[in-house]
């Protein structure tokens, strides 16, 4: 079975440009998470969805960040405009239910570099 | 104080050694606990959930002390393939997962 799929795997862009990261969760999973990982701050939860509905976006750093989940098989994380401090690895993860005890399955991540 | 703190590491141990990692969390209302493993430049993967009674999976033993807000992971007979960063994860409510900074382990031949 395919795991969580993310695209692109690498993105290099210039400051001020719009960046869109994509995620396809595991089929049948009802929860989806977006994380950001940096050396300085570690792995941080940005936002999560249950049944395509955003539940908690308190981890989204600024209004420049937005996330959507138009259906059960697709989510996007958008940064507009991007800044050099947004450079990080962005992971998408999915889990079977909203119980809070299920394993999270992570995608391979998108490595973003903003010049 | 950070919500989840771990031994800073790195831990460099010889093959066959026993190594223990510690983790503390600040939110007493936290409800579920996990250890994830992350290899270099890879995504995190679940190693094991941590239950109140403690649990074991082969060479790995996890323990939880709710009163002290403390979680541990013990690895026995360490293998070269155990080299990775070990992340302590706490669910502080709903699905608000907080990851610790991780402890890096290098098992040496």
Per-residue pLDDT tens over the stretch A56-93: 999 998 899 999 999 999 999 999 999 999 999 999 99
Mean of the per-residue pLDDT values of chain B: 94
pLDDT at residue A1, rounded to an integer: 65
Mean pLDDT of A17-42: 96
Confirm or reject contact between A101 and chain B (CB < 8 A): yes
For residues A97-105, average pLDDT: 90
DSSP type of residue B27: -
CB A38 within 8 A of CB A88: yes
pLDDT score for B8 = 83
- Residues of A with CB below 8 A from B98's CB? 45
- Whether residue A54 lies within 8 A of chain B, CB to CB, comes out as no
pLDDT band at B2 (very low <50, low <70, confident <90, very high): confident
pLDDT score of B107 more than 80: yes
State the nearest Cα–Cα gap between A93 and chain B, in angstroms: 10
Assign B16 to helix, strand or coil. Answer: coil
Q: How confident is the model at residue A100 (pLDDT cuts 50, 70, 90)?
A: confident
Q: What is the average per-residue pLDDT within B86-95? A: 92
CB–CB contact B99 A104 (8 Å): no
SS3 of chain A: the string is CCCCEEECCEEEECCCCCEEEEEECCCCCCEEEEEEEECCCEEEEEEEEECCEEEECCCCCCCCEEEEEEECCEEEEEECCCCHHHCEEEEEEEECCCCCCCCCEECCCEEEEEC
Record the tokens describing residue A83, joined without a space: 């800044």
Q: Which residue has the higher pLDDT, B57 or A1?
A: B57
Q: What is the bridge-based pairing of β-strands B44-50 and B32-38? A: antiparallel
Burial bucket for residue B87 (CB in 10 Å: 0-12, 13-18, 19+): buried
Residue-wise pLDDT for B37-51, tens only, equals: 999 999 999 999 998
What distances in angstroms separate CA B62 from CA A27, A112, A115, B35, one per listed residue? 30, 34, 42, 8
Q: A101 vs B32: CB contact, 8 Å cut-off? A: yes
Contact check, Cβ <8 Å, B31/A100: yes
Q: In chain A, pLDDT over 90 holds for what percent of residues? A: 91
> Which is nearest to A82 in space by CA: A11, A26, A3, A2?
A11
Query: Across the beta sheet with A5-7, what order do the strands follow?
Result: A5-7, A19-24, A74-79, A65-71
Q: Do A56 and B96 touch (CB under 8 A)?
A: yes
Residue bearing tokens 């007979």 = B77
User: Looking at the predicted structure, is the pLDDT value of residue A19 above 80?
Assistant: yes
Q: Quick one: average pLDDT of B18-28?
A: 95
Residues A8-26: what's their mean pLDDT?
98
- The answer to whether the Cβ–Cβ distance between A104 and B97 falls below 8 Å is yes
């Amino acid at each position: 079975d395919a795991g969580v799929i993310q695209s692109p795997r690498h993105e290099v862009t210039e400051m001020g440009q719009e960046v869109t990261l994509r995620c396809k969760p595991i089929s049948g999973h009802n929860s989806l998470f977006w994380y950001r990982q940096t050396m300085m701050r570690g792995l941080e939860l940005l936002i999560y969805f249950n049944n395509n509905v955003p539940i908690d976006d308190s981890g989204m750093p600024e209004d420049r960040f937005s996330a959507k989940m138009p259906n059960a098989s697709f989510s996007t994380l958008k940064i507009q405009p991007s800044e050099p401090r947004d450079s990080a690895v962005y992971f998408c993860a999915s889990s079977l239910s909203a119980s809070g005890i299920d394993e999270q399955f992570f995608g391979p991540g998108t490595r973003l570099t903003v010049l | 104080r950070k919500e989840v703190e771990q031994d800073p590491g790195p831990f460099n141990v010889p093959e066959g050694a026993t190594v223990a990692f510690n983790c503390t969390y600040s939110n007493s209302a936290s409800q579920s606990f996990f250890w994830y493993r992350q290899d270099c430049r890879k995504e995190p993967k679940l190693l094991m959930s941590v239950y109140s009674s403690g649990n074991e999976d082969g060479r790995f033993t996890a323990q939880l002390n709710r009163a002290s807000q403390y979680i541990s992971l013990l690895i026995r007979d360490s293998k070269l393939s155990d080299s990775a960063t070990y992340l302590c994860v706490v669910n502080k409510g709903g699905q608000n997962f907080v990851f610790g900074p991780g402890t890096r382990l290098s098992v040496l031949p």
